[in-house]
């Protein structure tokens, strides 16, 4: 588990001390950027496979996690993603649409993203050395190691909660029993 350094005592008192876990929870401290936090987390563990997940996506299913790990075993890297349904426009500097993007080749990436640990460690270390930052781990693995992640069909309820609107949507999904 990777946490913000200021949240260490809160994690200890509210979660680790309050609940009993079957296995030891390894805690790593997060960094300035998501990529720094992921790098800290994967360096702290020694398993063959790792999953990186956003805490702001609480509604993924065990079925999805299993499918992503199965694809990772076959392809070294896998991520859940949803095909884009909307029309996509590319815009210029003045915010005028100047071309339509083929949505057949565009997917919305989700987490958990799963990788062969050594592949992810190598990619994140190389990105760190070159001071390159990516919006997700799959992007770092592709750019730094040349390995594309296998796409596994994601889940619509696996939303990212980052705005007040997202929070209202999450509450509605819970109220309607469409997410757990």
- CATH number, residue 85: 3.90.550.10
pLDDT reported for residue 93: 96
pLDDT in tens, 22-57: 877 788 888 888 899 899 899 988 899 999 998 899
Query: What digits encode the pLDDT tens for the residues 57-103?
Result: 999 999 999 999 999 999 999 999 999 999 999 999 999 999 999 99
- d(CA 116, CA 108) in angstroms, rounded, equals 22
Give the confidence band of 12 by pLDDT, cuts at 50, 70, 90: confident
Whether residue 48 lies inside any domain: the answer is yes
pLDDT confidence of residue 14: 79
How many separate domains does the chain show? 1
**For the segment 145-163, what is each residue's pLDDT rounded down to a tens digit?**
999 999 999 999 999 999 9
- Report yes or no on 130 lying in a domain: yes
Expressed as residue numbers, the domain containing 74 is 31-176
Residue with tokens 């390995």: 147
pLDDT-based confidence at 117, cuts 50/70/90? very high
The DSSP result for 32-57, as a single string, is SSHHHHHHHHHHT---SEEEE--TT-
Confirm whether 5 is domain-assigned.
Answer: no
Could you give the C-alpha distances from 175 to 16, 151, 169, 172, 178, in angstroms and in order?
29, 30, 10, 5, 8
Closest CA to 157 of 89, 69, 59, 76: 59
> Would you state the pLDDT for residue 8?
81
- Quick one: angle between helices 34-43 and 117-129, nearest 10? 130
């Amino acid at each position: 588990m990777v946490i913000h350094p200021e949240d260490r005592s809160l994690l200890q008192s509210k979660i680790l001390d309050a609940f009993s876990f079957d296995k030891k929870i390894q805690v790593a401290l997060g960094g300035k950027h998501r990529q720094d936090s992921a790098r800290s987390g994967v360096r702290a563990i020694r398993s063959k496979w790792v999953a990186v997940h956003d805490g702001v996506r609480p509604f993924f299913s065990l079925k999805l996690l299993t499918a992503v790990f199965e694809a990772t075993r076959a392809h070294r890297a896998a991520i859940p993603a949803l095909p884009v349904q909307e029309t996509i426009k590319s815009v210029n500097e003045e915010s005028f649409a100047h071309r339509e993007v083929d949505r057949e080749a565009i997917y919305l990436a989700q987490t958990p993203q799963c990788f062969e640990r050594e592949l992810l460690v190598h990619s994140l270390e190389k990105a760190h050395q070159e001071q390159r930052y990516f919006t997700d781990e799959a992007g770092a693995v592709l750019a730094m190691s040349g390995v594309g992640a296998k796409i596994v069909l994601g889940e619509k309820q696996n939303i990212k909660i980052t705005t007040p609107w997202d929070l209202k949507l999450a509450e509605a999904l819970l109220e309607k029993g469409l997410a757990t």
